[in-house]
Amino acid sequence: MVHQMMPTNKAPAPRASSTSHVMRIPRLLPAHPHRLSPPAATARRGSLAAPLSVLALLASCAQAPRTPAPAPEETTAPPAVVVAPPPPGTLQRNRSRWIPARFDELPGWQQDRSSELWPALRQGCERPAAGWAAVCAQVRSTNPADDQEVREFLQARLQVYRVESPEGEANGLITGYFEPLIAASRRANPYRRVPLHAAPADLEQRKPYWTREQLESLPAAQAAMRGREIAWVTDPLDALILQIQGSGRLLISEPDGSERLVRLAFAGHNGHPYKSVGRWLLDQGELRPGEATWPGIKEWARRNPKRVQEMLWQNPRTVFFREEPLPDPRVGPKGAQAVPLTPGRSIAVDPQSVPYGTPVWLDTTEPLSSRPLQRLVMAQDTGSAIVGAVRADFFWGWGDEAEAQAGRMKQGLRAWVLWPR
């Protein structure tokens, strides 16, 4: 799924879950010096230089001689910054460069439960990246017995590269996302009045579409959405988190009294930029730095129920959904690679830095903890806030624990990729 970043106190990293398909999080310019080319600029300076020198000469003839001014002190120009060329074997991507490395450079490589990666790797091989066809054919025909066999398989076929920015920066940021699980009703009732909508019929004809505020306040916008309700939930923050993450699970109460577990998948948005409500709360002084996590935002809403709508309207983007069956609750939502995500073994990346279907070694820590989080994962998703070389969004899965971990995750990151030799 394509998703937005969880609403936290962070600005988008040099960049991205719309979370657009699986639910992640928020997250969350220049002048134009090229308008005057250097030759033109030089010509203009030259055209002024001659008249000014003549005027200076005429002025000197009309005045008495002066004591010469002291010569200016000599200054030494600062040395030019020399960027060392990347080492041989470096691979250049649009937003990153990959520096050759070794498996024994991966922190914690021998301690990872590498066999847990295998299902995610097989999922990725359903839609292999360019250059992966031969390795993926072997993946599909191999059943490693344990972690060591997985490591030996990968070491024999893949090369390690350290991921850096084009300027050589190897430190980045990792955040987290999850798939919400929310109770809903097929019809509105006094307890469930917040609708989740399918894409309106005129979405493609009106760009951008109505903002979030307009959809909730203008009669014409409300008329366009009438009949597009998929289900109704109790809390407007539940609807917001589904939209931020881009998808989710609904336990729907049907009119006949039965309950059904379904998935809401991303089906488009209204074309307006995503604005973090966490950032707005910080700017308003309603939360302190470090409090603009998803749990912190929910607590603020509980204390300020009359201002919840004001907060929600700060984000003009609205996401639309489509309902999908969920025959196997153990299967995650599909990411941008169009394969199901695996909790704890799938990440969202900037595909211009790391292609979908690439194994990535993470070196980071767990949320609110100094315990290392060092493991092999698959790049299988993206998000609007996930932009840049060393940038990832970690898929935690679904349920309360996944929500708690994803809502608090914002750690430093180093990353390596594994690529066919």
- Tens of pLDDT along 348-361? 999 999 999 999 99
The average pLDDT across 87-93 equals 91
Q: Which two tokens stand for residue 217?
A: 């306040």
Residue 250: pLDDT above 50? yes
What number of residues does the chain have? 421
pLDDT score recorded for residue 76: 57
The model's confidence at residue 389, banded by pLDDT at 50, 70 and 90, is very high
pLDDT score recorded for residue 16: 34
The model's confidence at residue 383, banded by pLDDT at 50, 70 and 90, is confident
Angle, helices 294-303/400-408, rounded to nearest 10 degrees:
100
pLDDT score recorded for residue 398: 94
Describe the chain by its helix, strand, coil percentages, rounded to 5.
Answer: 30, 25, 45
Please name the residues in contact with 281: beta carbons below 8 A apart, sequence gap of 6 or more: 287, 292, 297, 300, 311
The average pLDDT across 216-235 equals 97
pLDDT, tens only, 145-175? 999 999 999 999 999 999 999 999 999 999 9
How far is residue 162 from each of residues 86, 225, 338, measured CA to CA in Å?
12, 48, 26
The model's confidence at residue 301, banded by pLDDT at 50, 70 and 90, is very high
pLDDT, tens only, 50-82? 333 322 323 333 333 333 334 444 445 556 555
The model's confidence at residue 4, banded by pLDDT at 50, 70 and 90, is low
Cα separation, 309 vs 354, whole angstroms:
38
pTM, 2 dp: 0.75
The model's confidence at residue 385, banded by pLDDT at 50, 70 and 90, is confident
The average pLDDT across 176-191 equals 95
The model's confidence at residue 210, banded by pLDDT at 50, 70 and 90, is very high
Alpha helices in 14-128 (DSSP H): 38-61, 118-124
pLDDT score recorded for residue 231: 97
pLDDT score recorded for residue 324: 93
Tell me what the pLDDT averaged over the chain comes to: 84
Three-class SS of residue 140? helix
pLDDT score recorded for residue 368: 78
- The backbone region for 365, taken as left when phi is positive above 0, alpha when psi lies in -120 to 50, beta otherwise, is beta
pLDDT, tens only, 98-128? 999 999 999 999 999 999 999 999 999 999 9
Phi and psi at 47, nearest 5°, equal: -65, -25
Alpha helices in 14-114 (DSSP H): 38-61
Domains of the chain: 179-325 (2.40.240.50)
- Give the residue, 161 or 383, on which the prediction is more confident: 161
Residue 49: pLDDT above 80? no
pLDDT score recorded for residue 1: 66
The model's confidence at residue 21, banded by pLDDT at 50, 70 and 90, is very low
